[in-house]
Chain A
Amino acid sequence: MALKKSNTTAPEETQSSQRDCSEISKDLISEDPSKRRWAARDIVSCAHASVMLLDQLEAEKDMSVKQVILSSLTQIGDTEAVNGLVRCLRTEDVSLRNEAIEAMKHLPREVASIMASLLNDPDPDVRIFAVNILESLCHPDVEQWLIDVIRDDEHVNVCATAVDLLGEVGSEKSEPALLALKERFTDEPYIQFAADLAIKRIIGS
């Protein structure tokens, strides 16, 4: 007897595609994490979706729902969504922060427009996270942003993070800035090590 592949479309999935925005927004604040998860996925085409998702993100305790919210915000990618992701960089919740960094890596155009302000944020941790975002941000200005960081930023750990990345994405254009960085932080063995390694990688490539 030939086996026939069963039609296993989840009833919930079919149902969710037919729901209207007012129902979805109610489900987004439901007590049931499963309903919230589906609503976070389905709400992307509704008006003011980013605002609703960001409100729920602040209250959300379930990590799997948080992940769907971040994924939907990435999909929407409007100004509100990007600003919300930036707010996540300031949270003490390490996993949420890391998820936001990963989400922002997928928004090169939107993130590029605010990158200069992120890299000049008064909080060095935010500047470090901004450099982390550059790691996978496919954008032509990544190397120049990193050069600007190691040339101008006074915080050793922001520069250290940027040097690590320059070793991977930098070209010969970065070499003078790397040499200047070594001069700025002569008493920091890590900077000496990382800058030498980056130069070696750049010359080697």
Chain B
Amino acid sequence: MKVLIVDDASTVRMYHRNVLEAAGYVVDEAVNGLEALEKALENTFDLYIVDINMPKMDGYEFLMQLRSEDIDQAPAIMVSTEAAELDHTKAFTAGANLYMVKPIKPLQMMTYVRLLVGEESV
């Protein structure tokens, strides 16, 4: 299973990478939506973990292009520091399958990751 982490904060990428790799996942990283789109065009991912606030291309724009251009329909978790209902709605409209508010605990993350990639059922 291959996961693309899209976040401009290197510490966040490293934290998510550690959690996912400890669970046996293969991880790739992108620092903004633009780099993520390029990687999505050239690779196949089973899951995307996407931050909202990033320079050059934010998470909403990335997911909208990923879905509307039919580049990939693999599940996506949008992560943000913003907990407002409006942000959830915008994330789902853009194409997210799940919205998680930072900071994310490892157990919480892996539960949802396994559900979304079909390794566990509800």
Contacts and interface: CB of A to CB of B under 8 A. Distances in A.
A194 interface: yes
Interface in A176-205: 188-191, 193-194, 197-198
Most chain B beta carbons < 10 A, residue from A97, A124, A125, A167: A125
Contact of A164 (B10, B18, B53, B58): B10
B118 interface: no
A175 to B, nearest CB: 17
B1 interface: no
Interface in B77-109: 81-82, 86, 102-106
Interface stretch (A72-80, A110-118, A155-163): A155-163
Contact of A193 (B15, B55, B60, B102): B15
Most chain A beta carbons < 10 A, residue from B14, B102, B103: B103
Nearest to A155: B81
A94 interface: yes
B9 interface: yes
Nearest to A194: B11
B47 to A, nearest CB: 19
Contact of B82 (A95, A102, A125, A163): A125
Contact of B55 (A102, A128, A161, A194): A102
A94 B18 contact: no
Contacts of B11: 163-164, 167, 193-194, 197-198
A66 to B, nearest CB: 14
A98 interface: yes
A74 to B, nearest CB: 15
A157 B81 contact: yes
Most chain A beta carbons < 10 A, residue from B10, B11, B52, B60: B11
Interface in B3-53: 9-12, 14-15, 18, 52-53
29 contacts: A92-B86, A94-B53, A94-B60, A95-B58, A95-B61, A98-B53, A98-B54, A102-B55, A124-B81, A125-B82, A132-B53, A156-B103, A157-B102, A160-B81, A160-B103, A161-B9, A161-B81, A163-B11, A164-B9, A164-B10, A164-B11, A164-B12, A188-B103, A188-B105, A189-B106, A193-B11, A193-B18, A197-B14, A198-B11
Interface of A: 92, 94-95, 97-98, 102, 124-125, 128, 132, 156-157, 160-161, 163-164, 167, 188-191, 193-194, 197-198
Given A94-B58, A190-B103, A194-B11, 13 more contacts: A94-B52, A94-B61, A95-B58, A97-B53, A98-B53, A98-B54, A125-B81, A125-B82, A161-B81, A164-B10, A189-B105, A193-B14, A193-B18
